[in-house]
C-alpha cells in the first residue's frame, strides 16, 4: 500500500510537469509588444498690434515728390524734394508682439498699403525688423515695422491714414 | 564458543569468494549500447517595439482633421492638418517599427486593435487604422531568424486641440501562422 501511494504521487508530479511544459510551448507561439504613439500640438501663434503704435511717416512738405523712409527703429529720412517740417515731425516704426509655442521658429511678412486723405492717396511699402524669428523660452516675441512712402508731389495737405497687414507663420 | 567464531569467519570468506564470480558473470550476460534521443525546442516567437509612431509637431488646428503616416513614412492629411503640421519638426515624423525573432522561414500573423487614445493630461486624441504595408497582415521570419516591420497609423485631432505633448501605447501581437 505504501509503495502504491508513492507511485501515485510520482505520477501526479509527472502530470504537473507535463502541463507546465505545454503552457510554455503555447506562450512561445505568440508575442505582444506595446508600440508608442506620440504627437505634439503646439500653442497657436497669436499676433497682436501694440495699442497706440503706428508706422508714422511724420509731417513733411511734398515739393516735387520723393520718398519718406522710416527704418525699423523709427528713424526717418527723406529723399528728393520731400522735406520734413522742422521740429514738427516725429516718425515712428510700428510695433507688434506675439505669443506662441516656446522657442519655435516663425516667419514674418508684411504687405504694402496706401494711406488716403479724401481722394488723395500715397502708397507705401513695409519692412519688418526681421523676416524670421524665434519665440522666447516663454513663447513671446516682438518686432517693429518700418516702411517707405512714395510721394508724387501732387498730394494735398492733410492727415493721411491707411492700413497694412502683418502675418506670422510657424516654420 | 571458539568453533562458532570460526564458522562465522568461514561464512564471511565464502560470501566473499562468491561475489567475485557473480560480478564477472553479470558483465558477460548484459550488453549496453548508446541509444539516440531527440527533441526540437523551437525558438519562441518574440516581438519587440523598436521605434515609436511619431506624428511630430503641429500648430493647434482650427478645424481639425487627420494626419496619416504610412508604414513607409509617407504623410497625408485631411482638414487643416496640412497647414497645422507645416511647422518645424523637432523630431522626425516616422512610422513605428517592430522586430520579430523566431523560427527562420516561419510565417506569422500580426494583429492589433482598431484604435487607441493618446493623451496629455485630460486632453486626448485618437490613433487608429494601424497598417503594415497597406494591410494588416503579417510576414515571414527571415533566414537569420528575425524580421522587422513598420506600423503606420492615423492621428485624429479636433478643432482647437489643446496644446501639449500627447503619448500613448498600442498593442501589437504576432503569432506563428
Chain A residues within 8 A of B126 when measuring between CB atoms: none
How near does any CA of chain B get to the CA of A70, in Å?
32
Residue A3: pLDDT over 60: no
How near does any CA of chain B get to the CA of A40, in Å?
4
Task: Please answer yes or no on whether A31 and B100 come within 8 Å at the CB atom.
Answer: yes
**Probe site for chain A from B50, B163, B164, B177 (most A CB atoms < 10 A):** B163
Highest mean pLDDT among A131-135, B6-10, B24-28: A131-135
Q: How many CB atoms lie within 10 A of CB A91?
A: 22
Three-state SS for A59? coil
| B127 within 8 A of A37, measured Cβ to Cβ | yes
Q: State which residue of chain A sits closest to B53, comparing Cα positions.
A: A37
Which residues is A68 bridged to in the sheet?
Answer: A78, A149
Distance of alpha carbon B156 from alpha carbon B166, whole angstroms: 12
Chain A residues within 8 A of B60 when measuring between CB atoms: 41-44
What ipTM does the predicted assembly reach?
A: 0.72
Chain B residues within 8 A of A33 when measuring between CB atoms: 47-49, 98, 171-172
Distance of alpha carbon A85 from alpha carbon B133, whole angstroms: 73
pLDDT per position as a tens digit, A40-95: 999 989 999 999 999 999 999 999 999 999 999 999 999 999 999 988 779 999 99
User: Which numeric CATH code is attached to B46-176?
Assistant: 2.60.40
**Probe site for chain A from B46, B60, B95, B117 (most A CB atoms < 10 A):** B60
Residue B16: pLDDT over 70: no
pLDDT per position as a tens digit, B126-171: 999 998 865 667 888 999 999 999 999 999 999 999 999 999 999 9
pLDDT given at position A15: 34
Residue A129: pLDDT over 60: yes
- Domain range summary for chain B, segments of one domain joined by +: 1-31, 46-176
Q: State which residue of chain A sits closest to B97, comparing Cα positions.
A: A35
B147 touches chain A (CB under 8 A): no
Distance of alpha carbon A57 from alpha carbon A35, whole angstroms: 60
Distance of alpha carbon A57 from alpha carbon A113, whole angstroms: 13
How near does any CA of chain A get to the CA of B72, in Å?
16
Q: How far is CA A158 from CA A66, A86, A90, in A?
A: 17, 17, 16
- Domain range summary for chain A, segments of one domain joined by +: 49-170
pLDDT given at position B157: 95
pLDDT given at position A2: 43
Q: What mean pLDDT do residues B20-44 have?
A: 70
pLDDT per position as a tens digit, A83-124: 999 887 799 999 999 999 998 999 999 999 999 999 999 999
Percent above pLDDT 70 for chain B: 82
Q: What is residue B144's DSSP assignment?
A: T
Distance of alpha carbon A125 from alpha carbon A147, whole angstroms: 5
Task: Please answer yes or no on whether B87 and A31 come within 8 Å at the CB atom.
Answer: no
| A130 within 8 A of A108, measured Cβ to Cβ | yes
In chain B, residues 27-46 whose CB comes closer than 8 Å to chain A: 42-46
Give the residue, B19 or B53, on which the prediction is more confident.
B53
Residue B7: pLDDT over 80: no
pLDDT per position as a tens digit, A13-24: 333 333 333 333
pTM of the predicted model as reported, rounded to 2 decimal places: 0.67
Distance of alpha carbon A129 from alpha carbon A131, whole angstroms: 7
Mean pLDDT, chain B, rounded, equals 83
Task: Please answer yes or no on whether B47 and A31 come within 8 Å at the CB atom.
Answer: yes
Topology of the domain comprising A49-170: Immunoglobulin-like (2.60.40)
pLDDT given at position B133: 65
Q: A26 φ, ψ to 5°?
A: -65, -45
Question: What is the CA angle B103-B104-B110, rounded to 5?
Answer: 70
pLDDT given at position A56: 96
Q: State which residue of chain B sits closest to A26, comparing Cα positions.
A: B44
B136 touches chain A (CB under 8 A): no
Which one of A32, A37, A45 has the shortest CB-CB distance to B116?
A: A37
Q: What mean pLDDT do residues B88-95 have?
A: 88
Task: Please answer yes or no on whether A34 and B171 come within 8 Å at the CB atom.
Answer: yes
Chain A residues within 8 A of B111 when measuring between CB atoms: none
Distance of alpha carbon B104 from alpha carbon B43, whole angstroms: 9
Report residue B30's pLDDT band, with 50, 70 and 90 as the boundaries.
confident
pLDDT given at position B4: 43
Q: How many CB atoms lie within 10 A of CB A97?
A: 14
What does the block give as the cell for A142? 516682438
Amino acid at each position: 500500500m505504501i509503495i502504491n501511494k508513492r507511485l501515485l504521487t510520482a505520477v501526479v508530479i509527472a502530470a504537473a510537469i507535463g502541463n507546465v511544459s505545454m503552457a510554455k510551448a503555447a506562450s512561445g507561439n505568440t508575442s505582444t509588444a506595446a508600440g508608442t504613439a506620440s504627437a505634439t500640438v503646439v500653442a497657436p501663434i497669436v499676433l497682436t498690434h501694440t495699442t497706440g503704435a503706428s508706422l508714422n511717416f511724420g509731417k513733411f512738405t511734398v515739393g516735387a515728390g520723393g520718398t519718406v523712409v522710416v527704418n525699423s527703429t523709427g528713424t526717418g529720412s527723406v529723399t528728393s524734394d520731400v522735406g520734413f517740417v522742422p521740429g514738427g515731425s516725429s516718425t515712428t516704426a510700428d510695433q507688434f508682439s506675439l505669443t506662441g509655442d516656446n522657442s519655435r521658429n516663425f516667419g514674418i511678412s508684411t504687405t504694402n498699403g496706401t494711406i488716403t486723405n479724401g481722394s488723395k492717396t500715397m502708397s507705401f511699402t513695409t519692412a519688418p525688423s526681421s523676416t524670421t524669428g524665434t519665440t522666447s523660452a516663454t513663447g513671446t516675441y516682438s518686432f517693429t515695422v518700418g516702411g517707405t512712402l512714395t510721394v508724387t508731389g501732387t498730394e494735398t495737405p492733410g492727415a493721411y491714414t491707411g492700413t497694412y497687414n502683418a502675418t506670422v507663420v510657424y516654420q | 564458543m571458539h568453533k562458532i567464531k570460526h564458522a562465522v569467519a568461514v561464512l564471511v570468506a565464502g560470501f566473499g569468494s562468491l561475489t567475485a564470480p557473480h560480478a564477472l558473470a553479470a558483465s558477460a550476460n548484459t550488453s549496453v549500447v548508446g541509444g539516440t534521443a531527440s527533441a526540437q525546442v523551437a525558438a519562441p516567437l518574440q516581438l519587440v517595439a523598436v521605434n515609436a509612431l511619431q506624428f511630430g509637431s503641429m500648430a493647434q488646428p482650427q478645424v481639425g482633421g487627420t494626419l496619416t503616416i504610412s508604414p513607409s513614412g509617407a504623410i497625408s492629411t485631411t482638414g487643416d492638418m496640412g497647414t497645422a503640421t507645416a511647422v518645424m519638426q523637432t523630431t522626425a515624423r516616422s512610422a513605428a517599427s517592430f522586430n520579430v525573432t523566431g523560427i527562420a522561414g516561419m510565417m506569422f500573423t500580426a494583429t492589433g486593435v482598431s484604435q487607441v487614445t493618446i493623451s496629455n493630461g485630460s486632453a486626448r486624441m485618437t490613433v487608429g487604422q494601424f497598417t503594415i504595408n497597406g494591410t494588416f497582415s503579417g510576414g515571414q521570419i527571415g533566414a537569420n531568424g528575425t524580421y522587422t516591420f513598420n506600423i503606420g497609423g492615423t492621428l485624429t485631432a479636433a478643432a482647437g486641440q489643446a496644446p501639449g505633448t500627447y503619448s500613448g501605447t498600442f498593442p501589437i501581437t504576432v503569432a506563428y501562422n
